[in-house]
Structure 1
């Protein structure tokens, strides 16, 4: 991963040399802006509740599994510490949501609910549907939303192959956060399945695009898709836009 990051740094840039006004604004007014301190405090307090939770749960893994945990009996605090949304990602997610203000959001992969919380903190008006495969993890997330009074969040539990088609039926979505099964096959399947939901301003965020060779291949295929116009690779995420007025262009941006 360090080698990948060094390669990324060699090819990436900042706002200088970006000729697209849309992407230039995204970099200067969102990526390089400071996160609202009140929002950081709220996220930190939410995360701390999970870090203080010493309950053990039995995790059902549907995807590529964990590179760290050796079995399915896991302590909530350890999941939050090791596999939970990092503070750096959380701040960017909050800024991204605050910048675009999506009304309808789908999250594929709730986990303990930290990503969902960051989305809700970024825009409390967002109506969020979030999919989680594991029932015990879902329960922890639901409890977190309830404790913090995060409204308009619907958690759907079950295998994504069954829950995703139901969640997107007849829907147009402003934002999708893909943080589910990190396999090429599943990532591309979710991508294809969700194309029916796009509008011109939809923003899609793919987590961990350098997680494995498979994920790198999936990211390349997504970038090359005919409906995708602009992509922004910030290393830990790939961000996708479908704006018809933009010419097809791919950016690697250091954050």
Structure 2
């Protein structure tokens, strides 16, 4: 807890808004997307889903594969409390929906479905196709039932570990050739908050990016190990632009960009 509080104070000291941003690409992203006040239809579906989950009496037996929870002590977790304390916040969900809209995301990947609110923020508009991976069987099944109830037919859920799920994304070896892997416009890494694992997933997913792909990493200031992973990603030779928003780290690979790192308040 103290670590994250100190990290947030450091973030506030270094962060800025659009003023003083000299990259046209990042300035436009901040002003036209981050701070855009226009209402999107996708917001309404997410709000509906959040209300449904917040009033649910369902209790899930959760299998934690990653770094564990700082909120829950045991494995029996009410859906309503997951929605309140663990799932993507309304503010972040709306930012995600704006990013999907602004970047015209058509094909997305999510590591860490949880109960589905992050998935809905990505695919709620119906324009993006989403593959989402969740290791916990009960959580994955619950999210899938929610997607069906909301008629979100473009979401494909996979119940497997991240490593197994990423292996399934690759073409069969007999057909594999360089560049034949499925490409995603947006990749959201939201689970298994372990620094070493996060770096491993990042490296594994690089073959699924194209020049304009956006990677979003959740909880980059969760722990010293996660901060170390974020620093390593920032210095990766293929990375051009990073944006630290405290909760999320955004990574762009646009070869036409000068290599720059930003700390932005959203």
State the TM-score, normalizing by the size of structure 1.
Answer: 0.97
Q: Is the contact made by 1:129 and 1:167 (CA closer than 8 Å) also made in structure 2?
A: no
Q: Which of 184, 187, 198 is the matching residue for 1:173?
A: 184
Distance apart, 1:39 and its partner CA: 3.1
Q: Size of the alignment, in residue pairs?
A: 254
State the TM-score, normalizing by the size of structure 2.
Answer: 0.93
Question: Residues 81 and 35 (structure 1 numbering): CA distance in 2 closer, same or farther, change over 3 Å?
Answer: farther
Alignment partners' CA distance in 1, 2:209 and 2:245: 22
Aligned counterpart, 1:91? 94
Question: Residues 218 and 172 (structure 1 numbering): CA distance in 2 closer, same or farther, change over 3 Å?
Answer: same
Distance apart, 1:2 and its partner CA: 2.5
Q: Does 1:41 align with 2:44?
A: yes
Alignment partners' CA distance in 2, 1:168 and 1:101: 24
Q: Which of 213, 234, 241 is the matching residue for 2:224?
A: 213
Alignment partners' CA distance in 2, 1:139 and 1:184: 27
Q: Does 1:202 align with 2:213?
A: yes
Q: Which of 27, 30, 33 is the matching residue for 1:30?
A: 33
Residues 117-162 of structure 1: CA deviation (Å, up to 9, x unaligned): 01112x4221100000001001110111111111211101011121
Question: Residues 250 and 94 (structure 1 numbering): CA distance in 2 closer, same or farther, change over 3 Å?
Answer: same
Alignment partners' CA distance in 2, 1:251 and 1:201: 18
Q: Which of 129, 137, 140 is the matching residue for 2:139?
A: 137
Aligned counterpart, 2:80? 77
Aligned counterpart, 1:110? 113
**Hey, which bits of structure 1, 4+ residues long, moved more than 4 A?**
none
Distance apart, 1:41 and its partner CA: 2.6
Q: Does 1:124 align with 2:126?
A: yes
Unaligned runs of 5+ in 2: 172-180
Distance apart, 1:87 and its partner CA: 0.9
Distance apart, 1:3 and its partner CA: 2.2
Q: Does 1:157 align with 2:168?
A: no
Unaligned runs of 5+ in 1: none
Alignment partners' CA distance in 1, 2:255 and 2:215: 15
Residues 72-129 of structure 1: CA deviation (Å, up to 9, x unaligned): 01111111111111111111111111111211100000000000001112x4221100
Aligned counterpart, 2:234? 223
Alignment partners' CA distance in 2, 1:218 and 1:196: 19
Residues 157-189 of structure 1: CA deviation (Å, up to 9, x unaligned): 011121112125421111100001000111001
